[in-house]
Structure 1
């Protein structure tokens, strides 16, 4: 309780006395990751160590938890409860990590059986200890302003005993729908469209690459490395060139042979008999001397013709012989070339095998990239109807589950109705609904109101009290509920009295504890309306003076 003192002036305020800081202190010791950074980064608190003593499930002695501002990631628990089972009287304190402390809270206070569950101990604690600075009093079903409705519903399902797995599937479908929308928007970009592509085109491209991979794998499997591959290949090239040269020379010699054969066919013996006939017609009688000269010339010409014919015949024979030799040489070279080619065709060089293997690795990487693109394209092209079908199926499963858990939801609704009627009488129609939809599970507390802030805050009060009692009865929640004074802002004094009386009665009957911070003025108004708060006020009393705040100083 924060009081005004007799020395208070009109300029003094209890707003900075530490009521909300008390809430932050509880969160700090109970494992908050970033509880009010502005508070814990203050140099005035740098060397402070805060300790919380609390009852712990399954243990007869109190548990003392200590956390230093300068070492926020280390928690000291005394005794060591990390093992989960009570030990002897001489249990020693243990220093554990912040993550381990958060898990111990989930396990022991909220009945979690595995660290992989979708529930969060920190979120659940935020329903039991709401924080005003993050928007904890904006909506009954949220612990901070920007909280995902799926995350809040998932943890509320745990508190009310509903199927957490079904609530988690709502969140999964929501994430899939959000991803689909983002991909649809991104696909409109021409560059991104080339990166992802269409599934039909990618399917064909994948098939082509898979065929190339199969061919490369077959070639590598059949590949044989030929020793001295380069030397054999070089010799084969030389033999091929020799064959080409022989063919060129053979063509030339065949043309020469044809020319000689034509020349030999043109060789004819000289015929001079027409001369004697011609002279006789002219009346000229040739003498013996002239005739002897003609005979000598005839013999000379015959000798020349025979010599030329002999020379041509001998040269033609030599050409035919060389052609025959070249033909034999070409046959031998052809046989050698065939042998070399058979050797080369049976395998290849080591660098050729390495090239094949490199090509195979490149195609495999390309195929993997195409498959990733194909999966992205399929996600992009996922039909809204498919997601809607899953949502309809999930909605029906949730309806069936709620029918099976009808007793639990009836109990929660009855408690909420009872608590709200205690505050506002029978003139209101309070109710708590559990309604599955296609989008998510909805848990909604309602009290007929005129939109006032006070009634809205009392809806939160009744909702928190209902959830805390239900969870505590089933062993799914702790035995405490904490409210900041901001919850009572704008609330009629009569409802403040009834709320505090109701909280005192319910927590006493359920074996629980209700902690509230409040200004003395609000408490005095409640006292004038019939509340005796004296038995419940705990030390220290906070004041609006410099030394009267929670920390004993202002900073």
Structure 2
């Protein structure tokens, strides 16, 4: 329990607490105007101060690191497992706490912070670790998604500004479902490691399914083309590697490859030129042969007939002269034939020469082309090597991505099998812990029955995602009923977790919890809280606004001595009437 909270801030109002129910009241004085609200009185700051002194609240936004407060030290005296301690901390040295042993001993703790001393300085993180070990039995490292001191402690000192009063099962609005399942399973005594493993499994399945979905939808196209055709792509790529490998093995480098290539091109041009010349010469031969056939002189009779047909009769003398002309003409024709025959012989001889040249050049060109075909240039060899390297790299990429897709598919299947195993483990855990579940259900119902004629129900049941905690109370959509769900749930935790010695020994409720609740239900809640605290031996601390306490004539349970539970300080909304004794923002 907490005995007192003090500070070296001169205006700070010390908080004096005792066992059982403690009520800290903030009065709204008659002279207060509408602009002066009780939110300035520091009731919620008291909860922040408790968190600060257990090693939380250390970031730059902390209330206790504001310039108005950071130079002052705040202290809390409380007992913990056989030792009365005083923990002191200031915003100026927020990373450290001074721990004093006032009474008792810490020697029996799993880890003794005092080591025979009466005072020690402890790092903030180490102090939280130590409190987690002593208060909740938390080992040093429970792994990712495992329970933490801050997570568990916040169920017993809920803070409205963090959304801690919005839902019974969540101590903060941003608390994740997995965190809820792990924390509550730990406090109630269920196998919390199932929820821890289930959350890790959920993350793994989500990641694997996302990768699988990206692959199936073609997200790897920029790397391997269409993933649906990856086997075909790999087969064709391997075939290309084999082709290039065979080509390189058979490759012989010709050092003067470029010269031989030039020679081959020159021979080809020569052969083309000779072929053109041979064709032209053959045309010439054909023309010569036609000319030889047409070179014959006309006869005298033909000439006479010609003249007769023209109507001219030639005299004998003329015919004699014509005969001389004919003989001269025959001489000319004979000479032309001799010339044509000589040209024909020369042309045919040239054709034979061309054929011989073509045959020789073609033979040489064949030799050069055969050499070029069976050998290659160094540059070509280098190019082939580069192509082979690229082809091999592409094959390796395809293989890796094929393996990736296969591994992902296998991983998803394995994770789903593991998910089924965890579901079976959870079922067995619920069966083995039926007594724990029974205690929780009955404890919640008892608290709810004290407030309502139609009590609410707490259901705890296994699901694929882990244990589910569901609460049903008539009118649960009402703000007031929601607050009472939180109240009943916390009372259940104090009974069930307290039975396992898994509480800090105190429970703190801010006035915001009771704001939306009518006076009758509030009074019933305080009576039940006081009774349960006395029965189980824990300390129940609540902060209230003065107008939340019903007047004597409006009391629904007049026999409950509510004023006997009010403890100092008495706060007000007037200047200097708050917890810190001055207003600041």
Q: TM-score, normalised by structure 1?
A: 0.69
1:155 equivalent to 2:187? Answer: no
Cα contact 2:248–2:384 (8 A) shared by 1? no
Partner of 2:143: 115
Cα distance between partner residues in 2 of 1:309 and 1:395: 113
Segment drifting more, 408-417 vs 123-132: 408-417
Asked if 1:251 corresponds to 2:283, the answer is no
Residue equivalent to 2:192: 164
- Does the 8 A contact of 2:182 with 2:195 survive in 1? yes
2:116 paired residue number:
89
Report the Cα offset of residue 129 of structure 1: 1.0
**Match runs of 1:330-409 below 5 Å:** 330-344=362-376, 348-350=380-382, 353-354=385-386, 398-409=426-437
| 1:44 alignment partner, one of 47, 68, 73 | 68
- Number of the residue aligned with 1:190: none
Q: Select the residue among 536, 540, 559 that pairs with 1:514.
A: 540
State the match for 1:21 in structure 2: 45
* Number of the residue aligned with 1:66: 89
**Structure 1 residue 293: Cα displacement:** 11
Alpha carbons of structure 1 residues 278 and 7: separation in structure 2 relative to 1, 3 Å: closer
Matches of 2:29 and 2:289, distance apart in 1: 152
Structure 1 equivalent of residue 18 of structure 2: none
C-alpha distance after superposition, 1:57-90 (max 9, x if no partner): 6x8574736352x676x344659x9x97336335
CA contact (8 A) 2:145 2:196 kept: no
1:108-133: CA deviation from partner (whole Å, max 9, x where unpaired): 54425523134454333221111122
1:325 matches 2:353: no
2:288 aligns to what? 263
Measured on the aligned residues, the alpha-carbon RMSD in Å equals 5.9
Name the counterpart of 2:559.
529
- 2:527 matched to which residue of 1? 498
Q: Distance in 2 between matches of 1:5 and 1:424?
A: 26
Q: List per-residue Cα deviations over 1:273-321 (Å, max 9, x = no partner).
A: 9779999xx9989xxx999999998788666645653453244324312
Q: How many angstroms apart in 1 are the aligned matches of 2:389 and 2:550?
A: 84
SS of residue paired to 2:375: helix
Describe the superposition over 1:494-542 as per-residue Cα deviations: whole angstroms up to 9, x where unpaired. Answer: 525523432432442xxx44333345784997996344876x7665554
Q: Secondary structure at the match of 1:529?
A: coil
Distance 1:311 1:401, change over 3 A: same
Question: What's the counterpart of residue 443 of structure 2?
Answer: 415
- Offset at 1:243? 1.0
Residue 128 in structure 1 maps to residue 156 in structure 2:
yes
2:579 to 533, 550, 555: 550
Q: Indicate the structure with greater helix content.
A: 1
For residues 172-209 of structure 1, the C-alpha deviation after alignment (integer angstroms, 9 at most, x for no partner) is 899899999x99xx99xxxxx99799xxx954444454
User: How far does residue 340 in structure 1 lie from its aligned partner after superposition?
Assistant: 1.7
Tell me the CA shift for residue 450 of structure 1: 9.6
CA–CA separation in structure 1 for the residues paired with 2:437 and 2:560: 34
Q: Secondary structure at the match of 2:87?
A: strand
Q: Is the 8 A contact 2:255 2:378 kept in 1?
A: no
1:144 matched to 2:172? The reply is yes
In the aligned structure 1, how far is the partner of 2:467 from the partner of 2:27? 49
Counterpart position of 2:5: none
Instruction: Summarize deviations over 1:216-251 as a string: whole Å, max 9, x none.
Output: 544665574989899735752662353144134223
Scaled by the length of structure 2, what TM-score is found? 0.66
Distance 1:249 1:55, change over 3 A: farther
Alpha-carbon offset, residue 253 of structure 1: 1.7
* TM-fit CA distance, 1:266: 6.5
- Relative to structure 1, the CA distance from residue 299 to residue 419 in structure 2 (aligned partners, 3 Å threshold; closer, same or farther) is closer
Cα distance, 1:408 vs structure 2: 1.3
Residue aligned with 1:408, SS: helix
1:402, distance to aligned residue in structure 2 (A): 1.7
Q: 1:221 to 1:296 in 2, by over 3 A?
A: closer
Shift of 1:21: 0.6
8 Å contact kept, 2:476–2:482:
no
Q: Determine which structure has greater relative contact order: mean sequence separation of CA pairs < 8 Å that are 6+ residues apart, divided by chain length.
A: 2
What residue is the counterpart of 1:480 in the other structure? Answer: 506
Alpha-carbon distance in structure 2 between the residues aligned to 1:265 and 1:160: 124
In structure 2, the CA distance between the partners of 1:78 and 1:309, relative to structure 1 (3 Å rule), is farther
Matched, 1:443 2:483: no
Q: Is the CA contact 1:449–1:455 (under 8 Å) kept in the aligned structure 2?
A: yes
- Contact kept? 1:134, 1:145, Cα under 8 Å: yes
Q: 1:357 to 1:105 in 2, by over 3 A?
A: farther
Give the Cα–Cα distance (whole angstroms) in 2 for the partners of residues 222 and 53 of structure 1.
Answer: 86
